[in-house]
């Protein structure tokens, strides 16, 4: 997905919020805004929003000198999600369609995001997404919640690649991975995190904190942008991407940067911004399971 003009005001907003988060003074915040403003005329709208994200968050890091301003937030999100883990496992265990519940939880976990909204209303979100009412809605709008296709692809695929998104959220992904391992034998699952700190995206450290490495091989994309731009990823990651039978991509940033890929990818995320919602013809807050691209 290409960036829209509407993304530009939002980039400035995110830069100011992150700069404040990093403890920058008003003067430093203005310096950051000025640097980004200077760069805007050179930025093409043919790149995806996460590629712009590198400019925004990279500038904040450079000017404030804080390499990972969201480290504490990430630790907190991981801790919170790990506390929820036993309850979530129980929810999956007692549900009629365990895989569906695990998929829904993996999407619900995507509410843990500091790039756009600062809320962490995870409990409420889980309740909403798992409700009978919401299941009926999802069943009706099959285009954006194509669970039958997801299940079909999963069944026939041996090598899975799951591209993670945020810290905390990855605990929810762990539950999905464990469920897949329980349901099907012989699947080889690789889980990708970001190489360098970017917003609250999960890093190798988070994958370990959250126990993902117990059930999946954890690799990094090689990047420090809030998405996956294949031409810039590490060779190792690109090889894994090409060889995977099925790719599951978590979060809006990964969708924004991968959606023009030819390869079929199953995107699991919540529509968190008006631009993405309008691109998908859905409402903000909608729960998305979109299988898009040519079958591998």
**Contact residues for its own copies, defined by CB under 8 A:** 5-6, 8-10, 12-13, 16, 26, 29-30, 33-34, 37-38, 40-41, 45
- Shortest reach from residue 32's CB to its own copies, in Å: 9
Q: Give CA separation, 291 vs 4, 13, 169, 251, in Å.
A: 23, 31, 20, 14
Q: What's the closest the beta carbon of residue 3 comes to its own copies, in angstroms?
A: 10
In the numeric block, which tokens belong to residue 49? Answer: 């929003």
Helix, strand or coil, per DSSP, at residue 225? coil
Number of CB atoms found within 10 A of residue 8's CB:
16
| Least Cβ distance, residue 9 to its own copies (angstroms) | 4
Nearer to its own copies, 31 or 98 (CB): 31
Q: What pairing do the DSSP bridges indicate for beta strands 287-292 and 265-270?
A: antiparallel
Q: How far apart are CA 286 and CA 289, in angstroms?
A: 10
CB of 248 to its own copies, least distance (A): 33
* Strand, helix or coil for residue 9: helix
Q: How far apart are CA 245 and CA 157, in angstroms?
A: 5
222 vs 154: CA distance, rounded Å: 26
CB of 148 or CB of 274, closer to its own copies: 274
Q: How many separate helices (H) and strands (E) can be counted in the chain?
A: 13, 6
Q: Which is nearer to its own copies, 45 or 137 (CB)?
A: 45
Q: Which is nearer to its own copies, 26 or 96 (CB)?
A: 26
* The length of the chain, given as a count of residues: 296
Residue 124, judged by CB atoms within 10 A of its CB (0-12, 13-18, 19+), counts as exposed
Question: What is the nearest approach in angstroms of its own copies to the Cβ of residue 7?
Answer: 10
Is the Cβ–Cβ distance between 116 and 277 less than 8 Å? no
CA distances from residue 235 to 65, 123, 153 in whole angstroms, order as listed: 29, 39, 25
Nearest approach, Cβ of residue 119 and its own copies (Å)? 17
Q: Where are the beta strands (DSSP E) in 194-259?
A: 217-220, 246-250
Q: How far apart are CA 180 and CA 254, in angstroms?
A: 21
Between 23 and 148, name the residue whose CB sits nearer to its own copies: 23
For its own copies, the closer of residues 38 and 214 by Cβ is 38
Closer CB to its own copies, residue 36 or residue 223?
Answer: 36
Nearer to its own copies, 37 or 284 (CB): 37
Minimal distance, residue 30 CB to its own copies, in Å: 6
**CB 37 → its own copies: shortest distance, Å?**
4
Residue 186: strand, helix, or coil: coil
């Amino acid at each position: 997905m290409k960036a829209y003009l509407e993304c530009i005001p939002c980039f400035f907003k995110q830069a100011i919020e992150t700069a404040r988060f990093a403890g920058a003074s008003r003067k430093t915040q203005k310096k950051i805004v000025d640097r980004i403003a200077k760069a805007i005329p050179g930025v093409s709208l043919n790149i995806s929003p996460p590629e712009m994200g590198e400019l925004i968050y990279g500038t904040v890091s450079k000017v404030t000198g804080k390499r990972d301003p969201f480290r504490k937030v990430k630790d907190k999100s991981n801790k919170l999600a790990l506390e929820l883990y036993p309850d979530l496992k129980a929810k999956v265990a007692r549900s009629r369609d365990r895989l569906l519940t695990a998929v829904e939880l993996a999407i619900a976990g995507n509410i843990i995001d500091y790039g756009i909204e600062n809320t962490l209303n995870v409990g409420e979100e889980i309740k909403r997404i798992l409700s009978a009412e919401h299941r009926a809605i999802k069943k009706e709008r099959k285009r954006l919640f194509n669970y039958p296709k997801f299940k079909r692809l999963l069944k026939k695929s041996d090598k899975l690649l799951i591209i993670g998104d945020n810290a905390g959220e990855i605990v929810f992904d762990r539950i999905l991975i464990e469920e897949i391992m329980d349901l099907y034998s012989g699947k080889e699952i690789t889980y990708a995190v970001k190489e360098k700190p970017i917003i609250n995206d999960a890093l190798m450290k988070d994958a370990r904190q959250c126990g993902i490495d117990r059930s999946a091989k954890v690799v990094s994309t090689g990047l420090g942008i809030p998405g996956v731009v294949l031409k810039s990823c590490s060779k190792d990651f690109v090889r894994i991407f090409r060889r995977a039978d099925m790719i599951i991509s978590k979060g809006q940033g990964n969708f924004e940067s991968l959606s023009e890929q030819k390869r079929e990818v199953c995107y699991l995320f919540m529509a968190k911004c008006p631009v993405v919602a309008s691109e998908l013809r859905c409402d903000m807050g909608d729960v998305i399971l979109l299988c898009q691209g040519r079958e591998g």
